[in-house]
Chain A
Amino acid sequence: DTGVSQNPRHKITKRGQNVTFRCDPISEHNRLYWYRQTLGQGPEFLTYFQNEAQLEKSRLLSDRFSAERPKGSFSTLEIQRTEQGDSAMYLCASSPRGRGQQETQYFGPGTRLLVL
C-alpha cells in the first residue's frame, strides 16, 4: 500500500507526558499537513510543510505542539505535557507536486490519542 501511513494508530498516555506521532506521506509528495479532529467535528488545520520547510505554524494550538520534517520525507508531531483536552484524532495528509494537482490532499488513517 502506497498511501499515507501514520504510527501509532492509537496512543493512551497520562496527563503531563510527552507524545510523538509519525506520518509517512505518499512517496514524492512534497506537501505534508497535520490536522486535529475532535469527536463529532470536522478536522482542524494545525500546520503544513513544503519539503522540509514549515510554511504555516500559526494554527498550532499552543507552544506545547511542535512538528518537524527534517529530510522532507516523514514528519513527526510532538505534544509536550499533554492535557486531557488534547484527546483527539490527529490526521496527516500529503499532496503532490504540480500546479493544479496540489489541492487534493490524501489523508492517512490517523492517530487516536487518549489522555487520562
Chain B
Amino acid sequence: SQQGEEDPQALSIQEGENATMNCSYKTSINNLQWYRQNSGRGLVHLILIRSNEREKHSGRLRVTLDTSKKSSSLLITASRAADTASYFCATDNNAGNMLTFGGGTRLMVKP
C-alpha cells in the first residue's frame, strides 16, 4: 500500500521555471527521501531529510518537512529539460528496513 500521495500527479513547466512537488504521508517517520526516475529506469536518490529537520538543500533542490502536517515539498529551481522525470517521495519509519513510496509526480520541463 502507498504511504502517501504526491501532488500534483503531473506538472508541465518551461525551462528556467521552478517546479514544486508536494508529498503527504500518514504515519510517523524516521526520515523522508525523494527519488527521481527517468522513464522505464531505476530510481536515483536525490535527498534525505530526517524527522528532526525542517529544511535541506542540495544544489538546485530544496526540501522542506512539516511533521505536524505530515507533509514535505520538493522545489527544483531553474529547471532544465534534463529534469524531466517522475519524482517520488518515500518514507522510512524504521531506519532502513523498508521505504514506502507515494504515487509520484510526473514532471515535464519544456525546452
Contact = CB atoms under 8 A, between A and B. Distances in A.
The answer to whether A binds B is yes
Contacts of B48: 103-104
> How large, as a class, is the contact surface on chain B?
20 to 34
B75 interface: no
A7 B3 CA distance: 29
Interface residues of A, number: 28
Nearest to B106: A40
Interface stretch (B13-21, B39-47, B59-67): B39-47
B45 A42 contact: no
B99 A105 contact: yes
Interface string A1-43: 0001000000000000000000000000001010100001111
Contacts of B43: 43, 91, 93, 107
B103 A41 contact: yes
Interface of A: 4, 31, 33, 35, 40-45, 48, 55-56, 59, 89, 91, 93, 95, 102-110, 112
Interface of B: 1-2, 30-31, 33, 35, 40-45, 48, 88, 90, 92, 95-104
Given A35-B99, A103-B92, 8 more contacts: A42-B102, A44-B101, A91-B43, A102-B96, A103-B31, A103-B48, A104-B48, A107-B43
